Amino acid sequence: MRILAIESATESASCALTQDGKVVAEFTLQNKQTHSQTLLPMIDAMCAMTGTKPDDLDVVAVSRGPGSFTGLRIGAATGKGIALPFDTKMASVPTLYGMACAIREASDRVIVPVIDARRQHVYAAAYSAGKDGTLTEELGECVISSADLTGKLQALGRQVLLTGDGVKVVLPALLSAGLDVRVCPPSLSYARAAGVALAAQSMADRGELITSDAMAPVYLRLSQAERKRREEKNLTGKEAQKCC
């Protein structure tokens, strides 16, 4: 099975090709350019260098969130544009699951991917790895504060392996609580398309592929503009009640 994977949920822009679970190629940029500038040229160059045509693909996998609202929309649109003309099946990969797949290891340490969600919150999930490399969800994807995440992980009673750009947000609280925490090195602690592809392979094996029409980002929270609009609306409503 040949899979093209796209990761655009964070500042990293990444694409990868896998063949039957083996990573054939992976391109990643972290140079602050927008994903609309980088993704398609990267995919085009990678496919040219590997001799891959769009109709060679069995699956187009996209990191569907949570993460950057703009990045997720760009990734979804790019993946759908590649899959639609050839009716290629798609894998809608949870971003945190893809991050865990990229570093999964058979150990007693629970893998906790964290993405900075601003306002002292992170997007987080937790997975344990079996001896065969399969991942079991211990904490479902959520938007959570450092204190609440600390409580959830304490309840698991496990050693923790942290990865992602949210480490800086949660690490002080986890260490203060006395948790046994290991942090992935910077070279591994970011969202990668190879992880998306490996997750998509597992999802394909479980029969979880979808059509391009069904592909859509998952945000987990309202955008900043929407939150501001609701806050202003609530404020206006309260002022109107006072006036009456």
What string of DSSP letters covers 211-243? -GGG-----SS--HHHHHHHHHHHHHHHHHHHH
The tally of domains found in the chain comes to 2
In this structure, the number of other CB atoms found within 10 A of the CB of residue 11 comes to 18
Q: What was the pLDDT predicted at 10?
A: 95
16-to-22, 122, 203, 222 alpha-carbon distances in Å:
10, 26, 16, 29
Question: What's the token pair of residue 243?
Answer: 């006036």
**Residue 205 to residue 61: CA distance in whole angstroms:** 14
Global confidence as pTM: 0.90
Do 88 and 10 fall within a single domain? yes
Whole-number average pLDDT of the chain:
92
pLDDT in tens, 26-39: 999 988 789 999 99
Torsion region of 164: left, alpha or beta (phi above 0 gives left; psi -120 to 50 gives alpha): left
Do 21 and 66 fall within a single domain? yes
Do 101 and 164 fall within a single domain? yes
Question: What's the token pair of residue 212?
Answer: 């391009």
Q: Is the pLDDT of residue 225 over 80?
A: no
Q: What was the pLDDT predicted at 244?
A: 43
Range of the domain at 46: 2-94+191-223
What string of DSSP letters covers 54-96? GGG-SEEEEEEESS-HHHHHHHHHHHHHHHGGGT-EEEEEEHH
Rounded mean pLDDT, 105-111: 83
What contacts 80, CB < 8 A, 6 or more positions away? 90, 212, 215
Do 23 and 141 fall within a single domain? no
Q: What was the pLDDT predicted at 52?
A: 97
Q: Is residue 101 part of a domain?
A: yes
Rounded mean pLDDT, 134-147: 96
Confidence of residue 242 (pLDDT cuts 50, 70, 90): low
Do 7 and 50 fall within a single domain? yes
Question: Which one has a higher pLDDT value, 33 or 225?
Answer: 33
Q: What was the pLDDT predicted at 217?
A: 96
Instruction: Flag the least confident range among 166-175, 193-202, 218-227.
Output: 218-227
Do 83 and 200 fall within a single domain? yes
Query: 94 — phi, psi (to 5°)?
Result: -55, 125
Q: Is the pLDDT of residue 123 over 70?
A: yes
Do 51 and 169 fall within a single domain? no
Q: Is the pLDDT of residue 150 over 50?
A: yes
Instruction: Please give the share of the chain, as a percent, with pLDDT higher than 90.
Output: 82
Confidence of residue 103 (pLDDT cuts 50, 70, 90): very high
**Residue 116 to residue 243: CA distance in whole angstroms:** 40
Q: Is the pLDDT of residue 24 over 80?
A: yes
Q: What was the pLDDT predicted at 133?
A: 81
Instruction: Flag the least confident range among 47-56, 89-98, 110-119, 227-236.
Output: 227-236
CATH number of the CATH domain containing 130: 3.30.420.40
**Residue 67 to residue 14: CA distance in whole angstroms:** 14
Pairing type for strands 13-19 and 2-7 reads antiparallel
**Residue 228 to residue 219: CA distance in whole angstroms:** 16
Rounded mean pLDDT, 67-90: 97
Q: Is residue 144 part of a domain?
A: yes
